[in-house]
Structure 1
Amino acid sequence: MLELYQFELSHYSEKARLLLDYKGLAYRKIEITPGIGQVDLFRLTGQRQVPVLKDGNRYISDSTGIAKYLDLEYPDRPLIPKDSKQRGLCLMMEEWADESIGIKSRKALFSAISQDQNFRKSLLPTSTPDVFKTLVQGVPNDLLKVLGVGVGYTPDVVSSAITDLKQDLEALTLILADSPYLVGDQPTLADFAVAGLSILLKFPDGPYLDLPVSLRGKGVPELADNPLYEPFFTWRDRLYSQYRTPLLPTTTTGSAPTSIQID
């Protein structure tokens, strides 16, 4: 069986999960512990960042690399169009999503969790012990803001990211106004990139992530609750309902991640 080394709340990991679900491929999610787990992952695969897909003895890193590998080795339900123009648009839009929504959504989410202690606590996976949830909730907002400045998330940087994301969501809403998908009449890598990377802006309504039910449909203020972008998130959630496998403990695909020590 395929194995996906991941972080549950990594939007790039979510992009890879969407691709695997769309292809109808069974896989096991393996949660990597930040820090020591990434060292073990590097020792095993030469990569510290997730997602990494294991297929037999092969390790494929990066969500874009995973998409191209899946189309090559599992050609049913292709992700990248054959038509040259559609292929170019698909790859260009996927790259844009990685570099714009992918990077800026982290900054927008940081703004939300630095302002709301309950939201910060709820973001932890449901399997997190209560004592750790309480500890995280108790971190002062001012301390989080200082830590944010230390990693480059100054108030100006965060504000600029939110402004840019508003333009991104407006553009996507306009493109999808009279089209079921971003490129052509079938879902492509572009759709799954945009949909998966947007989870940090607003979590899907369904049971797709290991998060409390209370967080479904919740997200970054000014973005998740803005009626101007509601058509985009409605489209995103419809894509999820059609192609994303719900998180069910009794299944192997879409199930809760397994935390292991990498051998």
Structure 2
Amino acid sequence: MLELYQFEVSQYSEKVRLILDYKGLEYRKIEVTPGVGQLDLYKMSGQRQVPVLKDGETIVADSTEIAFYLDRKYPEKPIIPADPLKRGQCLLIEEWADESIGIKGRFALVGALNQNPNFRSSVLPKEVPDVVKNIISAVPGDLLSALGTGVGVGPDTVKEATKALKQDLEALSLILEHQPYLVGDEITLADLAVAGLSIILKQPGGDYLDIPDNLKGKGIPGLADNTAYDAFFLWRDRLYMDYRKPLSSQPSEEESPTSIEIE
């Protein structure tokens, strides 16, 4: 069986999970603990980031490389079009999504966590005591923003990322109001990449991810709850209902073999 070394709330891991589910491939998730103890995954793949796919003796790292590998090895239900124009559009959108939604989404999420104490406490694991949640919620947003500036995620970076994402979501919504998928009438890697990566903006509402129930259907204020982008998120949720397997139908996970620094 295919093995996916992953982080459950990683948008890049979700991109791969959605591709695997669309293709109807059975796989086992292996949760990789962030932090120290990254030696095993590094020995296996030559790098520390997730996702990593293990298919027998074949090891593939990076969500895009995994997508290409799966389409070559398991060509049923192809996700990369043969038509040159559609293929070019698909690959262009996939690469754009990694850089825009994938990376800028992180910056916007950091900004939302800094400036919204309630949102900040809501994303904490349910095992965290209320007293700790209260302390974290009480940390001034300006202090967190100052700390973020020191690691390249200051207010200006967050503002520019959020502005760009609003334009991106508007563009996606306009496209999807007039056609069923991003590259025409058939689903492609472009759709699966954009939909999977978008969990960093708004979590799907169904039982697809192993996250607290109070986070399902929630996301970054100003993006996830903006009615101007309803067409996009409705499309994304329909795609999930059609192709993403709920947790109850997935093979049980085994204990993580290693710990790594998440990308």
> After TM superposition, is the score higher than 0.5?
yes
> Which AA in structure 1 matches 2:135?
G
1:148 & 1:106 partners in 2: Cα distance? Answer: 12
The aligned residue for residue 91 of structure 1 is 91
The SS at the match of 1:184 is: coil
For structure 1, the 5+ residue unaligned runs are none
The SS at the match of 1:222 is: coil
> Which AA in structure 2 matches 1:200?
I
For structure 2, the 5+ residue unaligned runs are none
TM-score (norm 2): 0.91
The SS at the match of 1:130 is: coil
2:245 & 2:37 partners in 1: Cα distance? Answer: 26
Runs of 4+ displaced beyond 4 Å: none
Equivalent residues in 2 for 1:127-142, closer than 5 Å: 129-131=127-129, 135=132, 138-139=135-136, 140-142=139-141
String of CA shifts for 1:107-127, please: whole Å, max 9, x gaps.
Answer: 11111222334433332456x
Q: Could you say if the C-alpha distance between residues 262 and 219 of structure 1 is closer, same or farther in structure 2, counting changes exceeding 3 Å? A: closer
> Which AA in structure 2 matches 1:207?
D
CA contact (8 A) 1:117 1:137 kept: no
1:107 & 1:12 partners in 2: Cα distance? Answer: 15
CA contact (8 A) 2:39 2:258 kept: no
2:150 & 2:183 partners in 1: Cα distance? Answer: 39
The aligned residue for residue 189 of structure 1 is 189
Q: Could you say if the C-alpha distance between residues 262 and 13 of structure 1 is closer, same or farther in structure 2, counting changes exceeding 3 Å? A: same
1:144 & 1:3 partners in 2: Cα distance? Answer: 37
CA contact (8 A) 2:38 2:258 kept: no
Count of equivalent residues: 256
TM-score (norm 1): 0.91
2:99 & 2:78 partners in 1: Cα distance? Answer: 23
CA contact (8 A) 1:93 1:190 kept: yes
> Which AA in structure 2 matches 1:27?
Y
The aligned residue for residue 26 of structure 1 is 26
The SS at the match of 2:5 is: strand
User: Quick one: higher RCO (CA 8 Å, sep 6+), 1 or 2?
Assistant: 2
CA contact (8 A) 1:41 1:47 kept: yes
The aligned residue for residue 35 of structure 2 is 35
1:13 & 1:49 partners in 2: Cα distance? Answer: 10
Equivalent residues in 2 for 1:38-49, closer than 5 Å: 38-49=38-49
2:165 & 2:144 partners in 1: Cα distance? Answer: 22
Between 1:238-247 and 1:144-153, the stretch displaced more is 144-153
1:122 & 1:59 partners in 2: Cα distance? Answer: 36
The aligned residue for residue 52 of structure 1 is 52
Offset, 1:150: 1.9
1:134 & 1:53 partners in 2: Cα distance? Answer: 39
Aligned counterpart for 2:256 among listed residues 232, 255, 260: 260
> Which AA in structure 2 matches 1:246?
P
Q: Could you say if the C-alpha distance between residues 42 and 109 of structure 1 is closer, same or farther in structure 2, counting changes exceeding 3 Å? A: same
Q: Could you say if the C-alpha distance between residues 242 and 59 of structure 1 is closer, same or farther in structure 2, counting changes exceeding 3 Å? A: same
The aligned residue for residue 150 of structure 1 is 150
The SS at the match of 1:85 is: helix
The SS at the match of 2:177 is: helix
The aligned residue for residue 240 of structure 1 is 240
1:138 & 1:209 partners in 2: Cα distance? Answer: 27
1:141 & 1:24 partners in 2: Cα distance? Answer: 46
CA contact (8 A) 2:38 2:48 kept: yes
The percentage of aligned residue pairs carrying the same residue is 60
CA RMSD of aligned residues (A): 1.9
Q: Could you say if the C-alpha distance between residues 44 and 172 of structure 1 is closer, same or farther in structure 2, counting changes exceeding 3 Å? A: same
